[in-house]
């Protein structure tokens, strides 16, 4: 059984994965914003190809990532990174960009990419599960894998063109994340017995190194921590003066918002920002506070942008996929500070409350895995009975445990 499990390749994990939506590295931030607002994924891949050099390879279809059959070398077109709404929000919250967001949005999307190599890596479908885990533990967040899609000619004629789907020499690409690997391991969790029943404390995977911000501190003071949390795939804990966990400012939650949150990030306290980005939508009084403070600071460019988006009724309402989710995330009559022109059906992955997901040091590894997967996050906060913050457990920490066990499998 163990030998069979170790023989799995990444192609096994790619089954059913959607093709990546992509942008050229020469695209503007405004173009990236448009793709993010109409995408079901929180991230969009950025490729080294120039869209303007793309050639139509199929009638009515133009490759979005600059791929064409004229490219003889796959290295001519590679995924060089990824961007999400959090990158845009943090970028626009800078003083110089708040003055004129319309100018800032004309900058190339490349300015949003973190200067950290190896976050996104290309691998072959034949790459083994162990090799993939090793790459993730070395810092890779997304493994870009080519996938083959077979579409018959009749279907191709009626297929609606998708100008942002990455296609190269008849192949599309998907990417695999830490969550995909953890889900796959969970499907064969019995092979790792008795480790999944051990507490996270006994396994030594609780990290005390956490990003925190005090509840009453200006939210702008957390901008750097938010950017770091995005790279680390964690979150920023909101604590009181005694270190008690109150909530979080999560890049995951921010990714479901729109760019006007940059104004809230600049003008509100950390506690108010947490309330602002809650999935129920920003309270009307906080919207007025943000507008007033933008006006006081003479940030007219962002004020105009903020007023236009928050006053329209074009925001999609959040609807949950189950009665339980409906109770956890009620729909507000106010326009939500979230994406518009999106699907009207939201899953728990797309819209989540700003409440922190927590566990206890004595919680089992399996329980914490299930908890994180259920909430579609890469981490779980660890607290004591009095809600004092102990640390954080991440998918990366869990993968280290499983990798060690896989290495010693008979």
**pLDDT tens-digit profile of 126-185?**
999 999 999 999 999 999 999 865 544 444 444 444 545 555 556 789 999 999 999 999
Cα separation, 112 vs 35, whole angstroms? 15
395 near 179, Cβ under 8 Å? yes
**In sequence order, which residues have a C-beta less than 8 Å from that of residue 363 and are 6 or more positions away?**
199, 200, 371, 382
Q: How does DSSP classify residue 314?
A: -
- Taking 60 as the threshold, does the pLDDT of residue 191 lie above it? yes
What mean pLDDT comes out for the span 15-43? 91
Output the CA–CA distances (angstroms, integers) from residue 148 to 72, 167, 237, 311, 330, in the order listed: 18, 10, 41, 44, 40
Confidence of residue 323 (pLDDT cuts 50, 70, 90): very low
> DSSP letter at 330?
P
Q: Are 348 and 45 in contact (CB under 8 A)?
A: no
Q: How confident is the model at residue 9 (pLDDT cuts 50, 70, 90)?
A: confident
Report the share of the chain in percent with pLDDT over 90: 64
Mean pLDDT of 338-366: 62
Instruction: Name the token pair of 146.
Output: 């080519």
pTM: 0.81
Please, what is the end-to-end C-alpha distance for the chain in angstroms?
Answer: 10
C-alpha 345/C-alpha 320 separation (Å) is 7
Give the pLDDT band of residue 328 (cuts 50, 70, 90).
very low
CA dist 180 and 186 (Å) reads 10
Return the minimum-mean-pLDDT range out of 62-71, 190-199, 392-401. Answer: 62-71
CB atoms within 10 A of CB 227: 18
Structural contact between residues 34 and 44, judged by C-beta atoms closer than 8 angstroms: no
Mean pLDDT of 235-257: 94
Q: What is the DSSP letter of 108?
A: B
* H and E: helices and strands count for the chain: 19, 15
Q: Of all helices (H) and strands (E), which one includes residue 182?
A: helix 178-186
> From the CB of residue 402, how many other CB atoms can be counted at a distance below 10 Å?
21
To the nearest 10°, the Cα dihedral for 275, 280, 284, 286? 20
C-alpha span between 23 and 50 (Å, rounded)? 9
By DSSP bridging, strand 389-394 and strand 379-383 are: antiparallel
């Amino acid at each position: 059984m163990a030998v069979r499990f170790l023989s799995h390749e990444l192609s096994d994990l790619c089954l059913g994965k959607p093709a990546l939506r992509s942008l050229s590295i020469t695209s503007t931030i405004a173009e990236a914003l448009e793709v993010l607002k109409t995408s079901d994924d929180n991230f969009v891949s950025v490729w080294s190809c120039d869209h303007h050099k793309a050639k139509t390879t199929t009638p009515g279809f133009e490759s979005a990532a600059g791929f064409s059959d004229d490219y003889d070398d796959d290295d001519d077109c590679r995924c060089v990174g990824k961007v999400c709404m959090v990158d845009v929000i943090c970028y626009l919250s800078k003083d110089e960009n708040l003055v004129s967001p319309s100018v800032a949005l004309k900058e190339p999307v490349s300015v949003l990419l973190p200067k950290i190599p190896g976050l996104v890596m290309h691998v072959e479908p034949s790459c083994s599960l162990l090799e993939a885990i090793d790459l993730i533990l070395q810092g890779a967040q997304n493994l870009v894998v080519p996938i083959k899609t077979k579409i018959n000619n009749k279907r191709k004629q009626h297929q609606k063109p998708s100008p942002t789907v990455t296609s190269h020499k008849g192949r599309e690409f998907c990417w695999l994340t830490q969550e995909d690997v953890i889900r796959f391991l969970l499907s064969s969790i019995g092979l790792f017995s008795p480790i999944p029943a051990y507490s996270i404390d006994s396994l030594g995977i609780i990290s005390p190194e956490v990003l925190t911000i005090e509840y009453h501190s200006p939210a702008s003071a957390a901008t750097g921590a938010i950017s770091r949390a995005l790279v680390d795939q964690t979150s920023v804990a909101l604590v009181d003066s005694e270190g008690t966990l109150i909530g979080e400012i999560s890049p995951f939650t921010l990714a479901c918002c729109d760019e006007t949150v940059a104004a809230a990030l600049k003008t509100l306290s950390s506690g108010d920002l947490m309330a602002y980005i809650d999935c129920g939508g920003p309270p009307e009084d906080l919207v007025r506070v943000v507008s007033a403070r933008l006006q006081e600071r003479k940030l007219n460019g962002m004020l105009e942008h903020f007023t236009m988006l928050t006053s329209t009724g074009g925001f999609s309402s959040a609807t949950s996929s189950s009665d339980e989710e409906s109770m956890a995330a009620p729909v507000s009559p106010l326009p939500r500070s979230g994406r518009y022109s999106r699907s009207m059906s939201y899953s728990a992955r797309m819209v989540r409350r700003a409440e922190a997901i927590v566990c206890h040091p004595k919680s089992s590894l399996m329980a914490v895995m299930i908890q994180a997967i259920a909430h579609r996050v890469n981490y779980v906060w660890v607290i004591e009975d009095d809600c004092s913050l102990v640390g954080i457990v991440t998918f990366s920490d869990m993968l280290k445990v499983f990798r060690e066990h896989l290495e010693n499998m008979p």
